[in-house]
Chain A
Amino acid sequence: MATAAIPTGMKWWNGGRSPFNASYGKVMMWYFLMSDAFTFGAFLISYGTIRFSVNYWPDPNQVFNAFPGFGHQDLPLAFVSLMTFILIASSVTMVLAVHEGHHMNRKGVEKYMLMTIVGGLAFLACQAWEWTHLLTGEHISLMENGTLAAIPTTVSGNPWGAAVPHEAMLAALQKTPHDQLVSIAGSLHHAGGAHHDMSKMADGELINMIRAANVHVTLPGPRAFGGYFFGITGFHGFHVFSGVVINVIMYLKAKWGHFDQRGHYEMIEKTGLYWHFVDLVWVFVFLCFYLI
C-alpha cells in the first residue's frame, strides 16, 4: 500500500492531532481488540494448562470426525476445514468492502458487506450443526459404577476416554441395568425407530444384540473437555454472531448513504477490524482444539 511521506520535523505531541495519526474510534477499537485477545488467550491457555496436567486427553480426530450427510464415516478435519475456509473467505470479502470504502464506492461496499454477512451466517450454521451433533450423538462408555451407558458430549461428561478392552466390556454388560441396555441398543439403531419394542426385550436379548453390533466402548473422557470446548467455541461463536449483527447495521448505514454524507467510510474499517479479529481468533481455536 502506498504511504504518504511524513513531513520532516512533524511535532506529533503538540496537541491538536493524533500522535498515532488515527481517529479516536479506530485507536480504541484496536485497544479493545487487544484486551479481547488477552481474554481469548487466557481461556486457551487455561485449556492448555488443564490438558498438560492430565495423563489422558481425547484425540480431536476421534471427536470431530463427522460431516453432515456422511453418517458415521470417519472424516477427521473435514468439517472444520470447511468452517475455516468459510471464515477466511468472509475475511477477504470484508477487506474488499474496506477497500471499496476507501474509494467511496457505495455499491461495492454494499456488495461485499452482504457477502461477508452471508459468510458469517454460514459459519454460525456450521457451528450450530457441530454442537448439535456433539450434544446429541451418543457413544457407549464404561461408567465409574461399572455399567455401560450411552452418553453424549456435554459440559458435564463425554465419551472420549481411552478404549476399553473387549473382556471388560462384556463383564460390564452383565452389570448394566435394563433401561441403560435399552438406551444403548437404541443408540445403535436410532435409524430403525424400534425403540418401543426394545424396552420389552429381555436383558439377554439386548446384550446379544449389543455384542453382535461389535460396539466400540471407551472410558468417559476428562470432564474439563466439554466445558472448554463449548465455552471457548461458544465465546468465539458469540463474537461471530455479534460481528454479523454489526455488519448488518453497517451494511444498512452504507445503503442509507450515511457514510457518503459523512464523507468517509471509516466505520466500515472499524467493523472490518472486529471481523478480522474474529477470524484471527478462529486461527487459534482451530489450532488448539482441532489440529493439535
Chain B
Amino acid sequence: MSEHTLTSPEVSFAAKPSSGTKRIWNVFWLLSFITVIELVLGFGLAKHWYGSAGMILFIKGVICILSLAKAYYIVSVFMHLGDEIRNFIMTIVVPLLLFIWFIAAFLWDGNSWKVLRNTDAGSRTEQKATPAAKPEGAKD
C-alpha cells in the first residue's frame, strides 16, 4: 500500500497520485487544439466554403467526431475515469451505448415526420415546401 491515505475503509488501495501536472496541461492543449479545429470548420459552414450538401454533411460529421474525442479526454483524464478499475468503467460506459440507438431512431423518426408532411402522408409525390412560400413557424 502506498503512503497515500485511503479515502474510505472499503477502498482497498489508492493509486499513487501523479507528481506532475504535465498530463493535465497536455490534455488542456489538446482540447483547445480540437476546439480551434472545430471552430475553423464551423466558420467554414458560416461562410459557405463547402459547396454540396454531401460535403456539408461530411464536415458536420467530422465536427461531431471531434466533439466525441473531446468528451473522451474530459472523461478519461480530467474526471480520472481511465484510472478506475475496469468493471466500474464498464458500468458507466455500457449504459451510455443506448445513445447509439436513441440518436439513430429519433432522428430517423423526425425525418419521417417531415416526409409524411411534405407528401400529405404519402398520398402524393414529395414536394419540398420552399421556406419562402410557407411560414414554417405556423406549424411548429
Q: Are B17 and A99 in contact (CB under 8 A)?
A: yes
Residue interface mask B57-79, A partner, CB < 8 A = 1: 00010011001001100110111
Q: A261 interface residue, CB < 8 Å from B?
A: no
What is the distance, in angstroms, from A53's C-beta to the closest C-beta of chain B? 4
Flag whether A131 is at the interface (Cβ < 8 A).
no
Within 8 Å CB of B129, what residues of A? 55
Beyond A91-B74, A273-B79, A283-B71, is A61–B46 a contact (Cβ under 8 Å)? yes
Flag if A23 contacts B10 (CB, 8 Å): yes
| B53 contacts chain A at the CB level, 8 A cutoff | no
* Residue numbers in B under 8 Å from A208 (CB-CB): none
In the complex, what distance in Å separates the CA atom of A98 from the CA atom of B67?
24
In the assembled complex, the CB of A6 is this many whole angstroms from the nearest CB of chain B, namely 8
Q: In whole angstroms, how far apart are the Cα atoms of A216 and B92 in the complex?
A: 49
Binary CB contact string for chain A from 73 to 106 against chain B (1 if under 8 A, 0 otherwise):
0001100010011001001101110110011100
A92: chain B residues at CB < 8 Å are 24-25, 28, 78
Mark out the residues of chain A between 24 and 58 whose CB falls within 8 Å of any chain B CB in the assembled complex.
Answer: 24-27, 30-31, 34, 37-38, 41-42, 45-46, 48-56
Instruction: Determine the distance from Cα of A61 to Cα of B109 in the docked complex, in whole angstroms.
Output: 26
Q: Whole-angstrom distance between the alpha carbons of A55 and B79 in the complex?
A: 40
| Structural contact, B135 and A287, CB atoms closer than 8 A | no
Q: How far is the CB of B68 from chain A (nearest CB, A)?
A: 9
Contact A56 B35 (CB under 8 A): no
Number of interface residues of A (CB under 8 A): 88
CB distance A280 to B135 under 8 Å? no
Q: Total number of A-B contacts with CB less than 8 angstroms?
A: 225
CA distance A38 to B99 in the complex (A): 8
Q: Tell yes or no: A175 within 8 A of B by CB.
A: no
Indicate whether A291 sits within 8 Å of B42 (C-beta atoms), given known contacts A2-B16, A88-B31, A284-B67.
yes
Query: CB of B8 within 8 A of chain A?
Result: yes
Q: Which residues of the other chain, B, contact A7 by a CB distance below 8 angstroms? A: 13
**A220 shortest CB reach to chain B, Å:** 4
How far, in whole Å, are A266 and B60 apart by their CA atoms in the complex?
A: 39
Write out the residue numbers on chain A whose beta carbons fall within 8 Å of the beta carbon of B107.
Answer: 45, 48-49, 52
Q: Across the interface, do B78 and A91 meet the contact criterion of CB distance under 8 Å?
A: yes
Q: How far is the CA of A220 from the CA of B67 in the complex (A)?
A: 31
- Contact indicator A163/B132 (Cβ below 8 Å): yes
Give the CA-CA distance A219 to B77 in the complex, in Å. Answer: 46
Distance in angstroms from A154 CB to nearest chain B CB is 12
A to B CB contacts below 8 Å, 8 in the list: A4-B15, A4-B16, A17-B11, A144-B138, A161-B137, A276-B79, A290-B42, A291-B45
Q: A42-B102, A292-B60 are in contact. List 17 more A-B contacts (CB 8 A).
A: A7-B13, A10-B12, A23-B10, A27-B88, A45-B103, A48-B106, A49-B109, A49-B110, A52-B111, A53-B114, A54-B139, A56-B136, A77-B39, A77-B43, A84-B35, A219-B131, A279-B78
Which residues of A approach B to under 8 Å, CB–CB?
1-4, 6-7, 10, 12, 16-27, 30-31, 34, 37-38, 41-42, 45-46, 48-56, 59, 61, 76-77, 81, 84-85, 88, 91-92, 94-96, 98-99, 102-104, 142, 144, 157-158, 161-165, 219-224, 263-264, 266, 269, 272-273, 276-277, 279-280, 283-284, 286-287, 290-292
Give 9 nearest A-B pairs by CB, closest first. Answer: A52-B110, A102-B17, A61-B46, A23-B8, A49-B110, A162-B131, A56-B131, A220-B137, A20-B88
